[in-house]
Amino acid sequence: MIVIFAVSGATHKIGGNMDWKIQRLQTLYESRICTVDRAFGKVKPGSRIFIGTGCAVPQYLVESMTRLPQFFADVEIFHLVSLTPDPPYTNPKFRHLFRLNTFFIGHSARDAVERGDADYTPIFLSEIPKLIKTGRLHLDVALIQVTPPDTFGNCSLGVSVETDKAAVECADYVIAQINPQMPRTLGDSFVNVNQLDAIVEHDEPIIELIPEPLTDEAERIGFYVSRLVPHGSTIQAGIGTIPNAVLKYLKDKRNLGVHTEMFSDGLIDLYESGVITNSEKTFHQGKIVAAFCLGTKRLYDTIDNNPVFEFYPTDYVSDPRNISKNDNMVAINSALEIDLTGQVCADSIGHKFFSGIGGQADYIRGAALAKNGRPIIALPSTAKNGTISRIVPLLTPGAGVVTTRGDVHYVVTEYGIAYLHGKNIRQRVMALINIAHPKYRGWLLDEAKNLNYIYADQQLPPEGGSLYPEEVTWSYTTPDNRTISFRVIKSTDEEKIRELFYDLREEDIYYRFMSTVKTLPHSKAQPLVILDYAEKYAISGYIGEEPDEKFVSVARWLLDRPTNYAEVAFTVHPEWQGTGIGSFMLQKLVEVAKQKGITGFTAEVLAVNRKMLNVFFKSGFNVQSKLDDGVYFLTFKFDKA
């Protein structure tokens, strides 16, 4: 028998002049080739059997298990997650042969776990290899799928290294399905033929995971998350509609890197387009680092023998200490439910287990520890066709907390971004209500009041008003080359408005309110941020980046419906006065007001407030003025410049 030791597409035929070590490896390899019947012959009743993960499931070996039931009596099956549509170890008719114990509940295991025919072990993804290596989880048998060996007898674990490598190293008996269609991945992904006790050669396509179409919700979430990914970031890119939507909206980024437990086809688009270069990574620079992948043949062809992609076990890839070595680390994870205090449930729907802890806790912690890291939880605002809010006053009884309220930073839905870290409960509640589905915001507000989480008089923008105009943003450069950003004010900006107020001088406050105002408590500040964006509209100028931006100016209008004129008012921080900000804000308010069909503006300005009067009189509009008791009453129409 002639054995070909293969390296990806290239082959090395062993001939008479081979090195003696290679000859020994070939002899060893040949001696361990056997039929599946013979390989299973050493499996004993009551064994603990590990099966390779995800798309690396050795399909031929698994399918043969029910064909040879005499070898599988009362065995316990372990795996991370399975993509096999109907694996025998979750089929009720084989419950006398198999009992599944899974570390993550995929679709194929969900019904079995719910029936009580399978077990779920909640554990951090980074700790599973340690569980095996320490012997706390002793494995009798490992069923894996690998590439043909190279010249040195090394087989690659291909698309799944995460826990498979620990299983090979620690199981008493290893059965390997040698499949030439398995892509040869690099990194810490190799096992030698001398680690394989039985070798079954079988050629078959690797399982493929076809991406699901993106929903409108996922598209919006992807857009918002992309705003939190700076150029040069290192990202954790998972699988599913939301991660794929995020990847779609990263196409305008530069020099992204990847450090992730898993990835799918969406990553390949960014890699091939040059968005992902890994050039600014601070850990494994130049490399895409992962533990496994789930995708299509296109993905498999891309990673095959590609030195840019390196695969490592999860006790390395998902170790928060290693994750944190990536500066600008952005971790993007999903959730099933989040309560108003920030507790994130990601593995169960109430008491019913749905998925698993996976790598979420590892990556949220790792990104939080990284320099300029950004941990993100992304989820649709509703479930079951909009009939259930995923943002809830209290978690459903039995729900498991995967990310604690102390760990959560950014939360993103299709309605925007909430930043919770370091915020008190009242601030968290309002931030999350602000990104909940509009039809559930009133209910959430009432429940929060019942729980004494927020002010008893707390309000929301009126029902029927416009949704927050997220797309309205501008920037302005002052004559001394300072840049200020502008956006529309939202209901969660109350504290920022108050901070600006207390930075003002007495004369600034007097000019703005035409009276001496010493304080701006909640009762007075709240009306300044509760807007409908139709009759009440306001913009802020700020410096810094969200969520730590600092307000340095505010401009607003209040529409009088009978006349269709809106009264405008401005506030500018003392350090930014005289820089043209007032004129810029007036210009932008006019643009928006004209779009909404407003006829013109009115304003009341103290006669001593010469700077503000100049803003109006130099605006280019035909401003009509009337002086009465030290106050100028100004009016101008937009169509008369």
SS3 string, 223-253, reads HHHHCCCCCCCEEECCCCHHHHHHHHCCCCC
Which tops the pLDDT comparison, 179 or 96?
A: 179
pLDDT at 123 over 80: yes
Burial of 135 (0-12, 13-18, 19+ CB in 10 A): exposed
418 and 537 assigned to the same domain: no
466 domain-assigned? no
Three-class DSSP category at 624: strand
Structure tokens at 403: 């990310």
Angle at alpha carbon of residue 292, lines to 287 and 276, rounded to 5°: 35
**Confidence band, pLDDT 50/70/90 cuts, at residue 465:** low
Can you give the CATH number for the domain in which 290 is found?
Answer: 3.40.1080.20
Give pLDDT, residue 281.
98
Q: Which of 389, 415, 450 is the last residue of a domain?
A: 450
Q: What pLDDT, in 10s, does the model give residues 189-246? A: 999 999 999 999 999 999 999 988 999 999 999 999 999 999 999 999 878 899 999 9
141 and 29 assigned to the same domain: yes
The domain containing residue 122 runs over which residues? 4-201
**Confidence band, pLDDT 50/70/90 cuts, at residue 24:** confident
Q: What pLDDT, in 10s, does the model give residues 42-57? A: 999 999 999 999 999 9
pLDDT at 454 over 90: yes
**Confidence band, pLDDT 50/70/90 cuts, at residue 39:** very high
Q: Which of 173, 201, 229 is the last residue of a domain?
A: 201
What single DSSP character describes residue 272?
A: H
495 labelled catalytic: no
Q: What pLDDT, in 10s, does the model give residues 541-580? A: 999 988 889 999 999 999 999 999 999 999 999 999 999 9
Give pLDDT, residue 303.
98
Catalytic residue among 76, 204, 219, 261: 261
**Confidence band, pLDDT 50/70/90 cuts, at residue 14:** very low
182 and 231 assigned to the same domain: no
Answer left, alpha or beta for residue 505, where phi above 0 means left and psi between -120 and 50 means alpha: beta
Can you give the CATH number for the domain in which 157 is found?
Answer: 3.40.1080.10
**Confidence band, pLDDT 50/70/90 cuts, at residue 641:** low
Tell me what the mean pLDDT of segment 141-150 comes to. 97
196 and 254 assigned to the same domain: no
Q: What pLDDT, in 10s, does the model give residues 73-85? A: 899 999 998 887 7
Can you give the CATH number for the domain in which 619 is found?
Answer: 3.40.630.30
149 and 235 assigned to the same domain: no
Q: Which of 168, 201, 234 is the last residue of a domain?
A: 201
Give pLDDT, residue 26.
86
Q: What pLDDT, in 10s, does the model give residues 628-639? A: 999 999 999 998
Q: For the chain, how many structural domains are there in total? A: 3
**Confidence band, pLDDT 50/70/90 cuts, at residue 468:** confident
Give pLDDT, residue 107.
86
Using the structure block, give the residue that is written with the tokens 């390899």.
29
339 domain-assigned? yes
**Confidence band, pLDDT 50/70/90 cuts, at residue 462:** confident
